[in-house]
Structure 1
Amino acid sequence: MSPLYYAIVIVALCVIIYRSRDRGRYPPSPPKHWLLGNLLDMPRTVDWDKLLAWRNKYGGMTYLSAFGRSVLVLNTAEVIKDLLDKRAKNYSHRPHTVMAGELFGLDKTLVFYDYNDRYRVIRRLTQQVLSPEASRKYQDLQLDVIKLLLDRLRVDPDDFREQCRLAASRMILTITYGLDIKTADSEYIVAAQHTMDTMTEAAMPGAYVVDLIPILKHLPRWFPFTTFHQIGDYGRKLITDLITRPYEHVERCLAAGNAPQSFVSDLLSEPETLEKHGKHSEDLIEDIKWTAGALFAAGVETSFTTMLIFFLLMALHPDVQAKARQEIDSVTGGNRVASLEDRPNLPYLQALLREVARWHVVVPTSLPRRTGEDDIYNGFNIPANTIIVPNIWALSQDVDDPKCFNPDRFLDSGNAQNPYEYIYGFGRRICPGRHVADNFLFLFAANTLSFFNVSSPDRPIKGLKMPSDLAFTPTLVSCPEPFACKIEPRSAAHAETIASIVME
């Protein structure tokens, strides 16, 4: 045997020994395929059973790796707090996604920015106009949306799904751009829905092989199995059109001096903001434009989904509905619109909304993060550029009898973790629009229960599931599949009150 042969054997043995020792320093992992690693375990859709099984089997962390890419699933509140809150500087980046980020162009949005100076600037500006105090100034706009929703439910309750989407869209469009949308087939709403469906699929980690093997993006368009190029072009055009048209509408209104109050107009009209960052700063304009678009797209889908889950649960739990309604009536008399000022006097309703948020979390795996540098946690190596997936679903199930819908668990704060501490994200990437969304959902729930009874249909309806079927889409934003629901005014007097308040 030649010396070269022995040298190769020694080097190979050293690599094998090193890799076998190194493997033990990573967090617990499902068994790896000899060639594919954990490629087949990578999350492409939401698998609720797998998310729970990983938490139960591997504890606080589950580590996946394939083709040099690594994913770390955080399964417990303790680990999430230690990494995403206490070590936020390293764990607040976003993954470098080829499909959603590069090809769709979402890397221009606040949601997909890395944690850097540009992110911190636009984040501060966003929090400035969406703080808890600032968010209350949108109450009148939100109440107008709620009144129209009540009237549409009175007239056409069978179409409640589209009416919920219209209400969520009107709320976000009005607050973000000052637009007044009154029809369900508005071009903005239709475009937003189609764009969000496309974005949701692209944003799932591992949904496209080009995200797992980024070098594939350099393949020419004529090469087989490169349809991701065409999908990326299509997605980029959808997103660019979605954010550009309403933004230009605000600019025209500002130039004419008749711009309604909105997120965009507040930022563009704020003298301190414009003076500090330059009135004609291209970066600032791009940041505001894309951030508004992200708030619009994400806000509509999550609010709409929560509204549907609320109706679903009220149909299934008439006892809970009656208890909440009794509390609301004791405050409003059952003959006026509930407002944010009523919230402190409605503790059971607030507990009910927390349980709605917990029972089926709208974004079960949150939005993924990325580590900026190598790290060590509890003796385990976490490599740089590891994709971090918070296992929100596991957190939501960490209560007594998790499948039971029980608002009482939140009347005693020691019984369960408040879901508002995890459904809106963590640390320095917590959702800036959470206060606006929370206010809207409170006003929606208080007023629909005040004026309507919600129940299951007497018999199945073709093409729709019964509420008891409990079917949800396994997507980034997990929504109930179309279901039937019976929504009726509580009485003729309540119907008359709805008709009168919408005319105010």
Structure 2
Amino acid sequence: MDASLCLLWQYVFSPASIVGLIAFVLVFYVQQEYRNRQRYANIPPGPKPWPIVGNFGGFLVPSFILKRFAHNRKEFAKIVSNPLSPQAGLVEMSKLYGNIFSIFVGPQLMVVLTGYDAVRDAMLNHPEVFSDRPHIPLVTIITKRKGIVFAPYGPLWRTNRKFCHSTLRSFGFGKLSLEPCILEGLTMIKTELQSLIETAGPSGIDLTPLISNAVSNVISSLSLGQRFHHQDQEFRTMLDLMSHGLEISVNTSILLVNIFPWLYYLPCGVFKELRHAEIDITAFLKKIIARHRATLDPENPRDFIDMYLVEMLAKQKENNSEENLFSEDDLFYIIGDLFIAGTDTTTNSVLWSILYMSLYPDVQEKVQQEIDAVVGSERVPSLTDKGSLPYTEATIMEVQRMTVVVPLSIPHMASETTEFRGYTIPKGTVIIPNLWSVHRDPTVWENPDDFNPGRFLDEQGKLLRKDCFIPFGIGRRVCMGEQLAKMELFLMFTSLMQAFTFRLPEGKSTPSMHGRFGLTLAPCPFTSVIRDTAAMAFFTRQSIRTLSTSAALNAAIKHVTIIGGGLMGAGIAQVAASTGHSVVLVDTSEDILKKSTKGIEASLKRVAKKKFAEKPEDGEAFVQKVLKNVSTSSDAVSVVQDTDLVVEAIVENLKVKQDLFGALDKVAPERTIFASNTSSLPIADIASSTARLDRFGGLHFFNPVPMMKLVEVIKAPATSQQTFDALLEFSKALGKHPVSCKDTPGFIVNRLLVPYMMEAIRLHERGHGSKEDIDVAMKLGAGYPMGPFELLDYVGLDTSKFIIDGWHAMDPDNPLFAPSPLLNKLVSEGKLGKKTGQGFYKHK
């Protein structure tokens, strides 16, 4: 046996064998070089790769060897000297090779996009080519390329993303209705902090567990149907494992798995840590899915998991080609994606914001002053406050710009060989959009390395929206949870700033602002010294103001200002004046005001002719008495300085309404109630331009106002009960029958009526019935005075199109809000219904 081993040893390490091995390696290397030169003839420039490991060798080889032997040692030295910030190192490389350059990880070609222009061009102008996900061995081992985040671009991904988006929205995702769920977690944070402040020493408090738990419980409520206490050990362990897994997933040793996949299964070091994290997270989530499956009631789904299981069972029963698009395996990975995307990124954003406020106390103080002035201390901040807190929102955006929690995005892949900006991008190339570089791009940001919230404000202090601000990515792979993350970040930041002041412990070094690079960019560990900031002086002023406003609201509405002299505005003015109210009708056009006044007079004469048929002189007196209650003006600002109620009835354009109310809010008395007659726009959105969210509601009248008894009184989330009651009493004083409604799209009538009319159009479009037959059927079968097409022509096709387009933009996956090609065609041709002489029918 020993002799055999000796012979084998001599053979393997004989000069001939060694020479043969060297010759084989050389031939293989030359052959690969030849093939690569053919395939990569016109790729973007970049450093020359090392054999086998590619440019990854720059991270593995000691720097003293690089300086002596490595190709392109300057750019590698820059990255190696700053291993915590590879995104910045890649920017340094772009200065040598341009905004589009190539690197190799092993044999895999990667193209790095640097700066806003390159990223925008690739993601928006070439979405079909650059929306795929690469076959990265490490990702494939862990995710099986399932779920949403890492799934390949195709039918399965589109089906899952569409289902997730529509299902989560049905549970409040991205809507105001989710606010209480977020605030519940904030209440827990503030309660815990107030307790910890009393016992914390000068070393400060680590906020990470509290923030992480509050954020994760929002997505847990939506997807798992339950909340977890921050001390729940099993849940806490899962969150820690997710966070740690994301951090070590870009460890240099772990990245070697992409070159040598077998390394993942080594029973040691970070390989073992990542594998055990995967196993434990899998066990936790699969246990919850199994519990849902065992208690599933298809008629009453509780959360996202239930909805998915119901859909999966339905597809299985249908036994069609889509049955494989829904499986428990996919469900597991989707839930994992929701947790990772919905927890780690937002948690890190909140922590970064607290760290920056600790480092910039002047900014923190300015944010607190704005919150005190707008929100006060009696209530917690609401999403409806966003429009009134421009500096606060600008500060949040500046923190996001400085940190970019997913700095290198999730890698994309070229799904086919394509030409891009003069270069050939071969099929299968990994595309790295360097989002960090976009937000430090000196061509679009002035002094990009300076922390300056003012860059997001204009000269009047209003918030600026910038196309180059894309912390959630851009294109078809933009983060699905963007709206939820914005909601959470705004509410958590404003609530914490309202209640506490943060600073770093004295005597401790400032944490590195490079952060901890992982799949997400987390701040380096830090603690905060926290002070409870109960502003008693402001609280007293706010209480006095509240009491005086309350007293004013309890008084009856006598003086009314109507903004908008069109048919609706004139009708509201006539009814209000007829019931003894002092009315000012306002419009920028004197011609419209004259026409409106004549219209009111003519309408009143018709009423008087019927009501006082036997005593014409009483009828004339009635007309003159009512007309004395109506005056007109083209200057809204001067009129509202002494009015109890402003009712807006202008064009259905959100910005125009916001600008109007924003201007009036500055001059109207505190007692004045604002109301919009909008038929389709959210009251909360209109009110956001003012500082009187509690004194803002909706009064939706119906045309013709003097004849229609109904008024929809809308209570937005921030509308006070006193304001709502005042609007109800005002409607009754007009002789109307008010109905109450929450701030939901279309309120009651239009929410039911517009989808009804749209479905009638779709029936006609599909050839299932003529417009005449559909109208007759609904009049005779349902007892409606008008058929849907007659009603569409009466309402106005442009009005109906505007409403449905607005709803579709807010909820694109809702089939009730789908636009109609036929309606769009008629509107584009100017056939708007009765008012233009032709719509679905011709009118004389």
Aligned pair 1:451/2:499, yes or no? yes
**Residue 67 of structure 1 contacts residue 213 of structure 1 at CA under 8 Å; is this kept in 2?**
no
User: How do 1:81-230 residues align onto structure 2 when only pairs under 5 Å count?
Assistant: 81-102=120-141, 104-130=142-168, 134-136=173-175, 137-157=177-197, 158-202=205-249, 207-213=254-260
SS at match of 1:151: helix
Q: CA deviation at 1:282?
A: 6.1
Q: Amino acid of the residue matched to residue 328 of structure 1?
A: I
**Residue 354 of structure 1 contacts residue 418 of structure 1 at CA under 8 Å; is this kept in 2?**
no
Task: Give a deviation string over 1:149-199, Cα, whole Å, max 9, x none.
Answer: 111121114242221122222222122212111123431231132134224
Residues 1:138 and 1:39: Cα distance change in structure 2 (over 3 Å): same
Aligned pair 1:430/2:484, yes or no? no
Match of 2:392 among 335, 349, 355: 349
**Number of the residue aligned with 1:291:** 334
User: How do 1:486-501 residues align onto structure 2 when only pairs under 5 Å count?
Assistant: 486-491=529-534
Q: Which moved more, 1:75-84 or 1:41-50?
A: 41-50
Aligned pair 1:407/2:453, yes or no? yes
**Number of the residue aligned with 2:23:** none
Q: Amino acid of the residue matched to residue 432 of structure 1?
A: M
**Residue 204 of structure 1 contacts residue 476 of structure 1 at CA under 8 Å; is this kept in 2?**
no
Q: Which moved more, 1:34-43 or 1:312-321?
A: 34-43
Figure out how many residues of one structure are paired with residues of the other and give that number.
470
Aligned pair 1:264/2:311, yes or no? no
**Residue 472 of structure 1 contacts residue 478 of structure 1 at CA under 8 Å; is this kept in 2?**
yes
**Residue 99 of structure 1 contacts residue 232 of structure 1 at CA under 8 Å; is this kept in 2?**
no
Residues 1:370 and 1:228: Cα distance change in structure 2 (over 3 Å): farther
CA RMSD of aligned residues (A): 3.6
Q: Amino acid of the residue matched to residue 184 of structure 2?
A: D
**Number of the residue aligned with 1:502:** none
Q: Which has the higher contact order (CA 8 A, sep 6+)?
A: 1
**Number of the residue aligned with 1:77:** 116
Paired with 1:191 and 1:106, the residues of 2 have a C-alpha distance of 20
Paired with 2:216 and 2:32, the residues of 1 have a C-alpha distance of 56
**Residue 192 of structure 1 contacts residue 242 of structure 1 at CA under 8 Å; is this kept in 2?**
no
Paired with 2:373 and 2:482, the residues of 1 have a C-alpha distance of 28
**Number of the residue aligned with 2:591:** none
Normalised TM-score (structure 2): 0.51
**Number of the residue aligned with 2:806:** none
Normalised TM-score (structure 1): 0.82
Q: Amino acid of the residue matched to residue 384 of structure 1?
A: K
Paired with 1:13 and 1:124, the residues of 2 have a C-alpha distance of 48
Paired with 2:269 and 2:510, the residues of 1 have a C-alpha distance of 38
Task: Give a deviation string over 1:55-75, Cα, whole Å, max 9, x none.
Answer: 333222120135531011111
Q: CA deviation at 1:418?
A: 5.4
Match of 1:39 among 52, 56, 59: 56
Residues 1:252 and 1:351: Cα distance change in structure 2 (over 3 Å): farther
Paired with 2:169 and 2:252, the residues of 1 have a C-alpha distance of 31
Q: CA deviation at 1:443?
A: 0.4
User: How do 1:302-321 residues align onto structure 2 when only pairs under 5 Å count?
Assistant: 302-321=345-364
Q: CA deviation at 1:267?
A: 4.5
Structure ID, larger Rg = 2
**Residue 212 of structure 2 contacts residue 343 of structure 2 at CA under 8 Å; is this kept in 1?**
yes
Q: Amino acid of the residue matched to residue 466 of structure 1?
A: T
Question: Any unmatched runs of 5+ in structure 2?
Answer: 1-28, 60-78, 198-204, 541-844
Paired with 1:231 and 1:125, the residues of 2 have a C-alpha distance of 33
Residues 1:283 and 1:347: Cα distance change in structure 2 (over 3 Å): same
Q: CA deviation at 1:297?
A: 2.2
Q: CA deviation at 1:338?
A: 0.8
Residues 1:337 and 1:252: Cα distance change in structure 2 (over 3 Å): farther
**Residue 199 of structure 1 contacts residue 235 of structure 1 at CA under 8 Å; is this kept in 2?**
no
**Residue 315 of structure 2 contacts residue 326 of structure 2 at CA under 8 Å; is this kept in 1?**
no
**Residue 244 of structure 1 contacts residue 289 of structure 1 at CA under 8 Å; is this kept in 2?**
yes
Residues 1:63 and 1:204: Cα distance change in structure 2 (over 3 Å): farther
Q: CA deviation at 1:134?
A: 4.3
Aligned pair 1:367/2:384, yes or no? no
Paired with 1:303 and 1:354, the residues of 2 have a C-alpha distance of 13
**Residue 130 of structure 1 contacts residue 433 of structure 1 at CA under 8 Å; is this kept in 2?**
no
Task: Give a deviation string over 1:34-53, Cα, whole Å, max 9, x none.
Answer: 67542325799742431220
Paired with 2:490 and 2:271, the residues of 1 have a C-alpha distance of 42
Task: Give a deviation string over 1:405-436, Cα, whole Å, max 9, x none.
Answer: 111101149988456x5322222211111111
**Residue 143 of structure 2 contacts residue 333 of structure 2 at CA under 8 Å; is this kept in 1?**
no
**Number of the residue aligned with 1:7:** none
Paired with 1:338 and 1:89, the residues of 2 have a C-alpha distance of 41
**Number of the residue aligned with 1:440:** 488
Paired with 1:274 and 1:87, the residues of 2 have a C-alpha distance of 37
Percent identity (aligned)? 26
Q: Amino acid of the residue matched to residue 152 of structure 2?
A: D
Task: Give a deviation string over 1:361-398, Cα, whole Å, max 9, x none.
Answer: 11111111111111111221111111111111111212
Residues 1:13 and 1:174: Cα distance change in structure 2 (over 3 Å): closer
Paired with 1:367 and 1:204, the residues of 2 have a C-alpha distance of 16
**Residue 391 of structure 2 contacts residue 463 of structure 2 at CA under 8 Å; is this kept in 1?**
no
Residues 1:446 and 1:225: Cα distance change in structure 2 (over 3 Å): closer
Paired with 1:13 and 1:329, the residues of 2 have a C-alpha distance of 70
Residues 1:263 and 1:324: Cα distance change in structure 2 (over 3 Å): farther
**Number of the residue aligned with 1:394:** 437
Residues 1:134 and 1:100: Cα distance change in structure 2 (over 3 Å): closer
